[in-house]
Amino acid sequence: MAKILLHGTEAICEGAIRNGCRAFFGYPITPQNEVPEYMSVNMPKVGGVFVQAESEVAAINMVYGAAGAGVRAMTSSSSPGISLKQEGISYISCARIPCVIVNVMRAGPGLGGILPAQGDYFQATKGGGHGDYHLIVLAPCSAQEACDLTYLAFDLSDKYRVPAMILADGMIGQIMEPVELPPMRPLSDIPKKDWATDGGYGKDRRVLNSLIIKAEELEPHVNALQKTYDEIAANEQRCEEYMIKDAEIVITAYGTVARICKSAAKTLRKEGIKAGVIRPVTLFPFPSKAYERAAEKAEAFLTVELSLGQMVEDVRLAVNGKKPVSFYGRTGGNVMDEEEIVRAAKSALARAREGK
């Protein structure tokens, strides 16, 4: 199929629609307004539902209802709006309702700014709302991946009954790139949900609930959730490894930042420094195995983020003290350029060689 030029947010929408998403609920917030705008036009075309909710809080609860009734449903927002959705996400996680939440991150904290950032990594990967839970978190680095990962997110979410989040930085919200769209999947091809509350009575009735008031029942429920996260960690780690085999210095970043890191790695190689890149595609599960492998050979790691250091904690856990892990970050909506990364990589390698 021929490629077409798409906005990153449109690519997200197409990935959703083409994998059976038939309900979208959202509330305007920059920089993701193109998602609800596109869905308001295109959801009705496939017989789907679009509602502009009165708030992010309402939108996530509409997702709870729709997805709970068995329909593939999605909501989208940006950082402050995602904070508002956390209550609903926690309930959805406990009730084990599959759905997809898109976060086109902007700079924070607070109302922050509307420029690209990656400051919501902790919130996305460590639960975000109250209680013991995780989301499946996917981080696209291009319009193509925005489409493909959103498509995948619906399947993973359904398979494990764990909500999935697309964690995109603001650049994905603004980028335009050629995208090859997957074919439209027929709804009949999507596995039936034998737990959905789609109208039933008596013995056939079903309940979706996150109130488990007895301690002796809540503990096994939370343990079962954890078991699912362990399965996800075992089966679903995804990352891109770029020029890793002989790398002395491993630069690691997710999302569009990783693209700048790849350019930096090429430049470093021209200067005789063997650099490679690990780009996590799944942030939860974190692709620890790739770091464990890389830590056998590389001399040092450099984590690069549009934050003051969030993913770096998971990198350090994965590298587990075997090699030094440095960090370089920008925030406030500023994006580092290739030269800054090259400098940071050289300095990280030099420090490692000096044993600092």
Partner 1 sequence: MAKVFKKTKMLTDAHLHYCPGCTHGIVHRLVAESIEELGLQDKAIGIAPVGCAVFAYDYFNCDMQEAAHGRAPAVATGIKRCLPDRLVFVCQGDGDLASIGMAETVHAAARGENITIIFINNSIYGMTGGQMAPTTLIGQKATTCQNGRDPAVNGYPIRVCELLATLDAPYYIERVSTHDVKHVLAAKKAIKKALRFQAEGRGYSFVEVLVSCPTNWHMKPIEALRFMAEETSKTFPLGVYRDKSEGRE
Q: Which residues bind partner 1 (CB under 8 A)?
A: 22-23, 25, 49, 51, 53-55, 57-59, 61-69, 71, 73, 87-88, 91, 95, 197-202, 205-211
Question: From the CB of 58, what's the least distance to partner 1, in Å?
Answer: 4
Question: From the CB of 201, what's the least distance to partner 1, in Å?
Answer: 4
**Coil vs helix vs strand at 288:** helix
Whole-number Cα distances in Å, 184 to 14, 46, 291, 301: 9, 10, 36, 41
CB 64 within 8 A of CB 16: no
Question: From the CB of 60, what's the least distance to partner 1, in Å?
Answer: 8
Tell me the backbone φ, ψ of residue 188, rounded to 5 degrees. -65, -15
Report which of 126, 129, 125, 138 is spatially closest to residue 167, judged by C-alpha positions: 138
Nearer to partner 1, 64 or 327 (CB): 64
Nearer to partner 1, 30 or 86 (CB): 86
CB 24 within 8 A of CB 36: yes
Nearer to partner 1, 26 or 170 (CB): 26
Give the separation between CA 218 and CA 221, rounded to whole angstroms: 5
Neighbours of 214 (CB within 10 A): 7
Question: From the CB of 44, what's the least distance to partner 1, in Å?
Answer: 11
Give the separation between CA 88 and CA 244, rounded to whole angstroms: 40
Question: From the CB of 114, what's the least distance to partner 1, in Å?
Answer: 24
Report which of 63, 79, 74, 73 is spatially closest to residue 30, judged by C-alpha positions: 79
Question: From the CB of 92, what's the least distance to partner 1, in Å?
Answer: 9
Nearer to partner 1, 205 or 245 (CB): 205
Radius of gyration over every alpha carbon of the chain, rounded to an integer in angstroms: 21
Nearer to partner 1, 57 or 273 (CB): 57
Question: From the CB of 50, what's the least distance to partner 1, in Å?
Answer: 9
Prior bond of 109 cis (ω within 30°): yes
Residues forming a β-bridge with 105: 169
Nearer to partner 1, 73 or 171 (CB): 73
Q: State the angle between helix axes of 79-95 and 56-68 in degrees (0 to 180), rounded to the nearest 10.
A: 30
Nearer to partner 1, 92 or 311 (CB): 92
Give the separation between CA 162 and CA 73, rounded to whole angstroms: 13
Nearer to partner 1, 88 or 173 (CB): 88
Question: From the CB of 56, what's the least distance to partner 1, in Å?
Answer: 11
**Planar angle of CA 250, 295, 344, nearest 5 degrees:** 30
**Planar angle of CA 131, 253, 80, nearest 5 degrees:** 45
Question: From the CB of 166, what's the least distance to partner 1, in Å?
Answer: 20
Nearer to partner 1, 91 or 301 (CB): 91
